[in-house]
Amino acid sequence: MRLKLILLLFIVCFGSSLSAQEKYLTKQGYISFYSHTSVEDIKAENNQVLSIVDISTGGVAITILMKSFVFEKALMQEHFNENYVESDRFPKASFSGKIMNLEEIISGDNTIARIKGKLTIHGITKPVEIESKMIVEESEVTLQGKFKIYVADYNIKIPRIVRNNIAEEVEVSFNLKHQPYK
C-alpha cells in the first residue's frame, strides 16, 4: 500500500513536470507593423507581447497591449491610439489558434508552421491563416513570420484627409521566442 502511494506520488510529480515543459511562454515577444504609401511609411514596434505555445496540443495564444506600440513620431503614436485603434476602448489585440502541421514540425520534417486561428483587433474578430517559421528546441520555441491585414476588415476608420498617408493593407511581422513555462 505504501509503495503504491509513493509510486502514485512519483507519477503525479513527474507527469506534471513533463506537461509543464510542453508549454512555452514569452512576455517580451516582438511584433511590428508597416504601412507603405507613396506619401509616407509608417512603422511601429512592440516588445511587450505575451505569447504561449502548447507543444502537446499545438495551441497558440497571443495578447498585445495596443498602447505598447512605439512609433518614430510621437504624433503618429497619439493618432494611432486615440483615433484609429481607440486604445482606451479596445486596449488589447489578441490571437488564438492552432498549429495545423505540428507533427511535421516536432519530427523535424518541416520548419514552416501553418497556424489557423482568430485575430481580434479593434473589437473585431476575423479568421486568419498564418505561416510561421517554427524552431522547437528543448529550451526555446521560436515563431517568426509576416502576414498582411486589411485595416477596413477591423473597422478602423481612416479620415479622408490622411487616406493617402496610410495603406489599406498593413504588413505585420513577429518574432516570439518562448521559454519553458514553469
| DSSP secondary structure, 67-80, as one string | GG-EESSHHHHHHI
**Pairwise CA distance, residues 65 & 61, whole Å:** 14
Check residue 165 and give its pLDDT. Answer: 85
**Pairwise CA distance, residues 147 & 113, whole Å:** 13
Q: Domain spans of the chain? A: 23-180
The continuous run of DSSP H or E covering 168 comes out as none
Check residue 17 and give its pLDDT. Answer: 38
Check residue 15 and give its pLDDT. Answer: 42
Check residue 115 and give its pLDDT. Answer: 98
Q: Tens of pLDDT along 90-103?
A: 999 999 999 999 99
Q: Which CATH superfamily, name and number, covers 23-180?
A: Lipid/polyisoprenoid-binding, YceI-like (2.40.128.110)
How high is the mean pLDDT in each 10-residue block of the chain (182 residues)?
43 41 93 93 96 96 97 93 94 98 91 97 97 92 96 90 88 97 86
- How distant, in Å, are the alpha carbons of 36, 45, 60, 103, 170 from that of 42? 7, 10, 28, 38, 10
Check residue 11 and give its pLDDT. Answer: 42
